[in-house]
Amino acid sequence: MFYISILLQLLLSAAVASWLVSYYPRSICAFERSSVDFSCMFDYSDYRILKTTYWFKPEAHQKQDGSQVGISAYNSEAAKIHQLYKNRTAYANRDKNCSLQLHNVSKSDTGMYFFRFETYSSRGKYTGPGGINLSVAVLPFRVTVKTKKVNEHIHEGDSVTLTCSTENCTPTQEPFAWFKNQRLIPEATDSVLQITSVSHDDFGNYSCGLKNSSTTSADEILLDVRYSPKNVKIAVLSSGKIQEGNSLTLICKSNANPAVTNYSWFMIKEANVSYIGSDREFSIKSASQKDGGQYFCIAKNDMGSQNSTVTPLKVEDGLLNLTRRKLNVICLHLYRRKLFTSKKQPAEQTPAVTVTEEIYENLRKSPESEENLTTYVTYVDLRLPSSTSDRPHCNSQDVIYSLLSYKD
C-alpha cells in the first residue's frame, strides 16, 4: 500500500507533466510457475483519446531499454498478443491503471517489460521508461557455504555464511526454512544463515527451502567443521560378567573430525601410569585380578587430542557367587587323643561332636554346577568364618568330612 500512495503522489505532481508511466517494483524475482504483478499507473493529456495500450518485451536481439518495441505480452488488440502470453495475462484495464498480472511464469519470460500507449494523435505515443526487469528463479534451491578463508578447512570459531539460492535470482520475500540433518532450525527464516562462531555442534548436513513447501528443498551440503576429539570415553565390553577368565574389550570412543588417527591406552596402578596400547580397542583375552585398575585413553587427530576420563575396572574373582545362599556345613570333630590314646578308659571316650554352621563362602565354579548343584560333584574351597557364638564350631584342622547342602 505504501508504494501506491507514492504512486498517487507521483500522479498528482504529474498532472502538470501529463505523460507518465510509473512501475512498481522495478525488478522482480519470481519462481517458475508462480504469478507476478507488474504494478503500473499512467497518465496522458486528457484531450487525447487512447487507441491502444500494451505491454511489450524486447526480443533478445533488440535493445533492452524500451526504445525498440518487441513482442506483446498484453495488447488491447487481443490478436496482437504473442502466442507465448496468450491466456496468461490479466490487465487491470481501469482508468490510468495499467497493472498487469502474468501467470505461470517460466524461464523464457525472463527479461524487460514496458508499458506503452498510443493515442489517435500521430505524436501521442509513449513508452514508460525504465520498465520492469523480470527474473525467473529456477528451482531447486542450493546451499552455498562461505568463509573468509579460501581453500581451507572450516575450524571451530570461524565465521560461516550459508546461503540458500536458486539459479538466476532468489526471491527473498518468502519465508525460508533451514534444515540441519533433516531437522528444522526454527529460528532460521532468512535466505542467509549466518553462524558467527562455528562449533563442532554445527557439523552436519544442511538444506534449505521455502517455509511453506517441502518440495523446494535443496540437496544437502555438509558443513565440514574440523575439530579435535570430544567426549572421549571408555566403553567396556565383556563376554559375560567382568570376572576372571572372561574376555574383555575396552573401546576408546570419541567424536572427532577428521577421524581419530592415534589412540593411546594407559593403566594406572598404585599411582604408576603405564602405556599399554595404541589401538582403538584394548583387549584382554582372559581377565585376571591384576587387570583390575584405572584405565584411560587418549584420542588424537590433526586438530588435537583429548584424554578420556579415568575409568575404574574391577575384575571379580571367578568363584561362584554364593553370597546369598546358605551353606550348611556339618563337621565332625574327632577328639583324636581321647579316641586313640586311652583304650583303657572307655568311659572317658567322648562321642564325636556334630556342629552345623552357616557359612557364606565361595565355591569354585564349574559350568554345570550352577544348574544342578545338588548332584554335581564339587570341590570346595572353604574359608571358615570365626564363630562368634559360644557353641562349638568348625575348626579347620578338625574337619574331616564336610557335607554341603543348599538352602535358598
Ligand X SMILES: *[C@@H]1O[C@H](CO)[C@@H](O)[C@H](O)[C@H]1NC(C)=O
| Residue 307 touches ligand X, criterion: CB under 6 A | yes
Tell me whether residue 152 or residue 370 sits nearer to ligand X (CB atom): 370
| Per CB under 6 A, 210 contacts ligand X | yes
Q: Which stretch binds ligand X (CB under 6 A): 85-93, 188-196, 332-340, 394-402?
A: 85-93
Distance CA 164, CA 188 (A): 11
Region binding ligand X by CB under 6 A among candidate stretches 149-157, 317-325, 327-335, 346-354: 317-325
Contact yes or no for 88/106 (Cβ under 8 A):
no
179-188 contacts, C-beta under 8 A, 24 or more apart:
179/206, 179/207, 179/208, 179/209, 179/217, 180/204, 180/205, 180/206, 181/205, 182/207
Binding-site size for ligand X (CB under 6 A) equals 43
Place of cell 557335607: 403
- Say if residues 48 and 34 touch (Cβ distance below 8 Å): no
What is the widest separation between alpha-carbon atoms in the chain?
163
Per CB under 6 A, which region of 49-57, 87-95, 148-156, 252-260 contacts ligand X?
A: 87-95
- Least distance between ligand X and beta carbon 283 (Å): 18
| Site map 146..185 versus ligand X, x via CB under 6 A | -----------------------x----x------x----
Helix, strand, coil in percent for the chain, rounding step 5: 10, 45, 45
Q: Which of 133, 249, 294, 369 binds ligand X (CB under 6 A)?
A: 133
Could you check whether the bond before residue 258 is cis, i.e. omega within 30 degrees of 0? yes
Asked if 204 is part of the footprint of ligand X (rule: CB under 6 A), the reply reads yes
Query: What's the CA gap between 153 and 200, in Å, rounded?
Result: 13
Q: Which residues sit at the interface with ligand X, rule CB under 6 A?
A: 4, 27, 31, 33-34, 64, 86-87, 92, 94, 97, 99, 104, 106, 112, 133, 135, 169, 174, 181, 204-205, 210, 212-213, 220, 222, 261-262, 266, 269-270, 272-273, 298, 307, 316-317, 321, 323, 371-372, 375
